[in-house]
Structure 1
């Protein structure tokens, strides 16, 4: 049976790495249809799960929860997941302290925190399960230039100040036949700490042939550019400033009518689409962190040379206990995540995310089912 649900609480994507207001997901609804009979979610275990963390995945989490509620209602079960988008660091801290059932995070839990999480999980490792992906656009404002092509090296040199003019020979070489203006480039960068900045700089480290030397991190390290706060801030700044360029989530580029560069990953120029972003996700490999854990080897995405694969992505994880939950919590966590990884993915593209490719979805579901 198909269930029609209200869309009042989905909202719009706002500032930050797809950042929205820091409020919980206690009451959720969605505007999509879902076939409850086709869901593998058991809807078993405790009725209400608690979670906190990444604001980048907040809109996706709203959809996952509302879909899960509808599926379980059709199966005669009342469930909920209360998600607070309080930030990745806070989510990991609360998970370690056993204050929530799982955490959302823009980066995998590791090192000392991973050891602390294992203590919380009764001596069992915590697993990083990548569930939400969002592409990062290189958006620009150059009158008359609608199909700009850049690569990792030229992007790095623009954002470290080595390339200063739009008609620089390195840019011209990638855009044969395009009339590039003899005007200054104005990089617009995030003035606040963000997972978007971190992932963008990790891309530059992986794909710039050594041109990016200042490292990664949540704060911009390039040393140049005009700062603006949040994803909405940088997108609006580029929209109003001819000659400017920024890195920003695709949804914000779309909302502000910005032109987005194609990225040459070494196998030709790639337009940012759901299909091209999905190819990069599908080809991603995982770090050797142990069976069940799906910590991504981000260089396999950022450094991809696969034809037609768009390489600049933001991935967010759900951090869970591989074992050590009580039986009711384990059943509920597994049931919710199975739903989120499958029917919950429908319609994510409308919110600026990339739905999981089938092969990746299968690998993720396998790990979810292995939670003890």
Structure 2
């Protein structure tokens, strides 16, 4: 792919993010996916130009798959995606340094009321990626672990500091928990994963997690790292450690079961997708702004309410019509069933449901 310097985004970072992940996609065979059916009748082969995206590191694997496969049907288009974090991605999009953003949190009211450098007016949120957030850990001899929201909140706020603390032991009868300190690893960047994690805890354990949902980690505890890959790297060299991480980045780390209602539930993309399907759209937004109000208290069988919905953020209308056509064409592909299933295979994410895919496709079709 041709890598160009765009605004404040480093070309080297873009190259690392897109070229490597695209190669991985091709090695896995996902690059051979047949041409998908365009929901809007777009002829991908007639598109040409370069798109720059910036944002959620959770989307990195999926964006690599999408970028690689899109070139099979739109050989004239190069898509660069830099996993700078959700907050940085939104800032880059707002300032015009990126043509679209990836974000694990929808645009805030104050962002929506502001101006967007590339847009004639407003911007919209389009869901493109659904994934469970794992509570991943690395503790010698502990291969089975169950946690509930209150205990997770206690650990990550620094109130529970030992692995054999009674709060953990009570949930794990028969498990030999070590008498060692817990090493907490958390994100240190402006992170949508942190926002979703903190929202889940604030809703389900507000007496312990007393901070409001935030994209920056609110407590002074443990070690920190930037991005999904940074957290995974920190965990690889840590001991007796625990973190929250998009499931795509958890690798070989052990993953705790989550108490959902009265049942210990294993993490699954299907459980994450169920929660999103059970949730409503946020109210008070424009017709084409498809933001999800996630039901964090969903206790249905198999549900995984510690879930994130990641969005592509784009202009409703671009000042540059040619750029608008490129963004529209790429996102039109991203929300197709073929693209969603290809990303799900590589990133362990959940494909958009037919209902949500229809809403997303309608929003993409409205881009000018």
Q: Name 2:157's counterpart in structure 1.
A: 160
Q: Name 1:273's counterpart in structure 2.
A: 268
Within the candidate set 348, 351, 354, 2:347 is matched to: 351
Cα distance change, pair 223–363 in 1 and its aligned pair in 2 (3 A)? same
TM-score w.r.t. length of structure 1: 0.79
Cα distance change, pair 233–111 in 1 and its aligned pair in 2 (3 A)? closer
Q: Name 2:211's counterpart in structure 1.
A: 214
Q: Name 2:70's counterpart in structure 1.
A: 68
Task: Give the 3-state SS of the residue equivalent to 1:220 in structure 2.
Answer: coil
Unpaired segments of 5 or more residues in structure 2?
3-11
Aligned partners of 1:37 and 1:220: how far apart in 2?
39
- What is the CA distance between 1:47 and its match in structure 2? 1.6
Aligned partners of 1:69 and 1:117: how far apart in 2?
32
Task: Give the 3-state SS of the residue equivalent to 1:69 in structure 2.
Answer: helix
Q: Name 2:361's counterpart in structure 1.
A: 365
Corresponding pairs, count: 345
Aligned partners of 1:365 and 1:86: how far apart in 2?
26
Aligned partners of 1:312 and 1:66: how far apart in 2?
29
Task: Give the 3-state SS of the residue equivalent to 1:139 in structure 2.
Answer: strand
- What is the CA distance between 1:188 and its match in structure 2? 1.8
Q: Name 1:179's counterpart in structure 2.
A: 175
1:6-29 deviation per Cα after TM superposition (whole angstroms, max 9, x unaligned): xx99xxxxxxxxxx9443758966
**Equivalent residues of 2:93, 2:116 under 8 A apart:** no
Cα distance change, pair 99–249 in 1 and its aligned pair in 2 (3 A)? closer
Find out whether 1:204 has 2:210 as its counterpart. Answer: no
Cα distance change, pair 129–49 in 1 and its aligned pair in 2 (3 A)? farther
**Equivalent residues of 2:132, 2:246 under 8 A apart:** yes
Equivalent runs, 1:3-18 vs 2, <5 Å: none
Aligned partners of 1:39 and 1:168: how far apart in 2?
54
**Equivalent residues of 2:36, 2:339 under 8 A apart:** no
Task: Give the 3-state SS of the residue equivalent to 2:113 in structure 1.
Answer: helix
**Equivalent residues of 1:26, 1:81 under 8 A apart:** no
Task: Give the 3-state SS of the residue equivalent to 2:130 in structure 1.
Answer: strand
TM-score w.r.t. length of structure 2: 0.80
Equivalent runs, 1:33-52 vs 2, <5 Å: 33-36=32-35, 38-40=37-39, 42-43=42-43, 46-52=47-53
**Equivalent residues of 2:86, 2:190 under 8 A apart:** no
- What is the CA distance between 1:368 and its match in structure 2? 1.5
Aligned partners of 1:157 and 1:26: how far apart in 2?
40
Task: Give the 3-state SS of the residue equivalent to 1:35 in structure 2.
Answer: coil
- What is the CA distance between 1:226 and its match in structure 2? 3.7
Cα distance change, pair 233–327 in 1 and its aligned pair in 2 (3 A)? closer
